[in-house]
Structure 1
Amino acid sequence: MSMGAAVILGNEPGSFPYSVLAERHPAIIEQVREAFPYGPEQHRALDALLDSCTKGVIEPLPGGAWAEWGIGGYLGQSWFDVPWLWSESHFYRRLLDAVGYFGDGPWHGIDPFRPSKLAELDSPETDQELTALDELAALPVEEQGAALVHGSLWGNRADLGFRLSDGAAEGRDAVPDLVVDDSERLRSLLDGVGTLCLIADNAGRELIPDLLLLAHLLEHGRVERAVLHVKPYPYYVSDATTADVVDALRRLVRAPGEAAGYGRRLWDAMADGRLRVRAHAFSCAPLPYADMPDDLRAEIGGAALTVLKGDLNYRRLVGDRWWAPTTLFADATAYFPGPVAALRTLKSDVVTGLDGRTEAALDEAEGRRWRTSGTHALIQVRP
């Protein structure tokens, strides 16, 4: 893979990465502070983190943590001057330290983002989306599968019915919502294959469609086994952990109608090993997948297909760099140890695999905003 494109930093005022570091991270600190009745120790640590991440420099982590993930090369540098992917990840690791997540005290293992995750799971919108599964059951199996892929792709913008997009309308639209659509290639790869790895993104209303898709693929023999990769600890506010998978499965099993059937089938698949949850440490690494360790590379290399969900996983898959949007997806993922697919709603600047005409139409209609607004998506496959 060519490394000619520059790594994205967060030090350009007015840029999207700069706004995340300067505005989003301080806002997240305040949200976490208000979500729990933390004591003085946590409040002092959150104050110190706010000061550090906006005006300070990278400092050592307790116990030599992250030595293997390059922290030594960034010590003493501004948070804005190191790779943005690294800096963002470092912020969430620091946030967990501040609230005592890794400590020996009573706040050990308490997810600071759990209240917002549960509120989303219990929302009326989730009820509506699960009720829509009753209508989905009347469709032919192939159409169900296609609708569930779109549900997984759009997550909580799945339009309440995992509704099939109007393919003809997409073609007519000068600025399509789906900027790359390799869904036919994806469908052809999911044809009675062995193991599917799905690397999850967010919890709540975005994890449920992922689970529904896995249930469908397992039930209809499109895959024999599935491995769901989640984060080993809370990360990027809403990223899914094992606890979030359990909450989502409980939510499905308790639901009326077809949703409960999906939940029971998934529960049974966990029990007999057809569905496994994996929480590899590298899932929270501040590094691209090109740097994955040998054990993970071997595991993924043994899968028939790996599907990566969401924006952060896409940045890690192709490398968080200023690629020209027409850079071939196959070139950017040539290192990946097996067939790979990306289901991603665009929420950051990185994108590959567009044709020049689509890029020009998007730029003309929206400037750079199409890259970060979450209103466009892609399905990309490298067999």
Structure 2
Amino acid sequence: MQANATNAAIDSQVPPTADGMSKKHLRLSHLPTKQDVTYPRTAALIDPDNPPWPAFRGYHTYSFANATMGHRLPTILGKAIDDVIETLNTLSEEEEIIDLVKCIERMATLKKELHQSAKLRPIKDDGEADVILWNKEIAKYFEGKDFMNAPWLFAEAYKYRRLRECFTVSKFWVNYDVFFRQKCDTFARSSDAVFELSTRFAKPFQHEKHPSNEAKLERERLMFMELTQICLWGNSTDLSLLIDMTEEQIKTLQSTGGEALAETEKNILGNHMPRLWEVVRDLKNKREARIDFILDNAGFELYCDFVYADFLIQGGFVDQVRFHGKRYPWFVSDVTKKDWNWLLNTMVYGHLFTKATEQEKETLRLLGLRWKQYEKEGKWIYEQHPFWCTGYTFWDLHSEAPDLFLHLSKSDLVIFKGDLNHRKLTYDCAAPYSTPFDVAIGSMASASGAPKICSIRTIKSDVVIGLGDDGENIGSKLDKDEKGWKISGKYAVILLSEGRPGETVTFI
């Protein structure tokens, strides 16, 4: 009986292989039939290790995740170690030197773990406000996972949190920013684009004498469209991707002339700018209107964000702009409060652009003075919630940081800048190109009280959604004709979700 059962389960009627041996295959006729997984997953099946569509993971050799985890992150860590060694060589106090050497040793251990794809251990209790969030997520979803088989988004964020830990457990170097020199240097090499904008906007914005209301509104619309593009393409100087670029390459990316903007608009594959203008235009009729920026890169991109926000204030569209940055160095070039202060103060007091004319320097100083005044008057406010430096996607913002969700729900428009914020909004997974933006961002669009949300992003990673009804054809054609188009920064999206503003925010 047992032999018959065995024979029934094994197919021996298979042609012999090249070496004359006959292969036997299991017959799986009594097992359930194979079933395709339906995407997007239902809400009950979604978690950080199982996003709505398949996650990008480091072991996917076809993906940018593989290049990041295998090459980019170790390279970034190596440059960070070089930066700390440069600081170490300037020290004279033994206790500080020993303390910093230990930081370097911890960084070297992290780099080794990256190379070996080590398992993800809990974050040490270093006094940071996000430790509980990190370790809860690791214990619940990533126990036993390593750098390569955990979702790329989480593994990459975890690496930067571990880098932070290298310094927070020290005595003297808790606030050390291994990327600060790079951020300053990249802004210094952006002089052409910096003065292109400062010479245009140093004086407060004014209309020509006695224009009609229609003419005023049309001029404001055209300026808004151009400034939105400047705000978009300013994202091109992401240090984590462009860290070895020449000055000429940076100038090309940062070109802000009218012809350059007209040329690049056709590369905005998902373009909700006309609707975005309508949302901002209608704020003129609202008292105490507010827009929030979830910031991305420091330096030139932050400078472009400031120019954009300045226009929104001067044009009477909003009364207040809130800028949300990171509490500590994050993804190489993300904005911290130190970066914010440095930019404003170097504009007013610095001698960064030695080749600039006195007139150019004065335009930059006037801009800086006006922006610092906005800060003093509470028109511009910098904030840094711990949630922004966690491994959670923004699908989890509603449940893991309800205070922040409630705060954002009071905004008239929340603008998320850059590639990382877009990845976190969309769960960084392989969704179809035609997936609508409000579907891709989950609870950030569907939860009661969700604000209007706009993602302004140059495409620098695998996730691409919001390309419209013809999105599959657009994406497939680019896949065929332009290898690497998803990581080149050549293409972009400006996508808007209407949300559910005005509804009472509820947490269940």
Instruction: Please state if 1:285 is matched with 2:375.
Output: no
Instruction: Please state if 1:374 is matched with 2:489.
Output: yes
Displacement after TM superposition at 1:15 (Å)? 2.2
For residues 115-153 of structure 1, what are the alpha-carbon distances to aligned partners after superposition, in whole Å with 9 as ceiling and x for unaligned?
101111222x23543244424679954433322211110
Aligned residues of 1:129 and 1:160 also touching (Cα < 8 A): no
- Per the alignment, in what secondary structure is the counterpart of residue 320 of structure 2? strand
Displacement after TM superposition at 1:57 (Å)? 1.1
Aligned residues of 1:180 and 1:378 also touching (Cα < 8 A): yes
For residues 262-296 of structure 1, what are the alpha-carbon distances to aligned partners after superposition, in whole Å with 9 as ceiling and x for unaligned?
32222111111111001000111111111111101
Aligned residues of 2:195 and 2:364 also touching (Cα < 8 A): yes
TM-score, normalised via structure 2 length: 0.69
Displacement after TM superposition at 1:251 (Å)? 3.2
- What pairs up with 1:71-82 in 2 under 5 angstroms? 71-72=138-139, 73-82=141-150
Structure 2 partner of 1:49: 110
Gaps of 5+ in 2: 1-38, 42-51, 89-99, 208-218, 238-251, 350-359, 445-449, 499-508
Q: What amino acid maps onto 2:462 in structure 1?
A: D
Displacement after TM superposition at 1:44 (Å)? 1.9
Larger Rg: 2
Measured in 2, the distance between the counterparts of 1:349 and 1:14 equals 10
Structure 1 partner of 2:435: 327
Structure 1 partner of 2:59: 11
Structure 1 partner of 2:195: 130
Displacement after TM superposition at 1:334 (Å)? 4.6
Structure 1 partner of 2:318: 223
**Which moves more between the two structures, 41-50 or 59-68?**
59-68
Q: What amino acid maps onto 1:232 in structure 2?
A: R
- Per the alignment, in what secondary structure is the counterpart of residue 443 of structure 2? coil
Instruction: Please state if 1:354 is matched with 2:452.
Output: no
Displacement after TM superposition at 1:165 (Å)? 5.2
Specify which of 109, 116, 130 is matched with residue 182 of structure 2.
116
Displacement after TM superposition at 1:12 (Å)? 1.6
Aligned residues of 1:200 and 1:207 also touching (Cα < 8 A): yes
Aligned residues of 1:129 and 1:161 also touching (Cα < 8 A): no
Instruction: Please state if 1:106 is matched with 2:184.
Output: no
Measured in 2, the distance between the counterparts of 1:170 and 1:128 equals 16
Measured in 2, the distance between the counterparts of 1:43 and 1:166 equals 43
Structure 2 partner of 1:161: 256
Aligned residues of 2:435 and 2:466 also touching (Cα < 8 A): yes
Aligned residues of 2:226 and 2:261 also touching (Cα < 8 A): no
- Per the alignment, in what secondary structure is the counterpart of residue 119 of structure 1? helix
Aligned residues of 2:433 and 2:466 also touching (Cα < 8 A): yes
Q: What amino acid maps onto 1:181 in structure 2?
A: N
Shift of the 68–135 alpha-carbon distance from structure 1 to 2, 3 Å rule, reads: closer
Structure 2 partner of 1:179: 269
Structure 2 partner of 1:233: 328
**Percent sequence identity over aligned pairs:** 24
Aligned residues of 1:342 and 1:379 also touching (Cα < 8 A): yes
Measured in 1, the distance between the counterparts of 2:411 and 2:160 equals 30
Aligned residues of 1:146 and 1:164 also touching (Cα < 8 A): no
Displacement after TM superposition at 1:190 (Å)? 1.0
- Per the alignment, in what secondary structure is the counterpart of residue 373 of structure 1? coil
Specify which of 271, 275, 278 is matched with residue 188 of structure 1.
278
Structure 1 partner of 2:77: 29
Higher RCO (Cα < 8 Å, 6 or more apart): 1
Q: What amino acid maps onto 2:199 in structure 1?
A: D
Aligned residues of 2:193 and 2:254 also touching (Cα < 8 A): no
Displacement after TM superposition at 1:68 (Å)? 2.5
Q: What amino acid maps onto 2:433 in structure 1?
A: P
**Which moves more between the two structures, 245-254 or 84-93?**
245-254
Measured in 2, the distance between the counterparts of 1:165 and 1:17 equals 31
Structure 1 partner of 2:226: 147
**Equivalent residue pairs, number:** 374
What CA RMSD, in Å, does the superposition of the two structures yield over aligned residues?
Answer: 2.3
Gaps of 5+ in 1: none
Aligned residues of 2:462 and 2:487 also touching (Cα < 8 A): yes
Displacement after TM superposition at 1:164 (Å)? 6.0
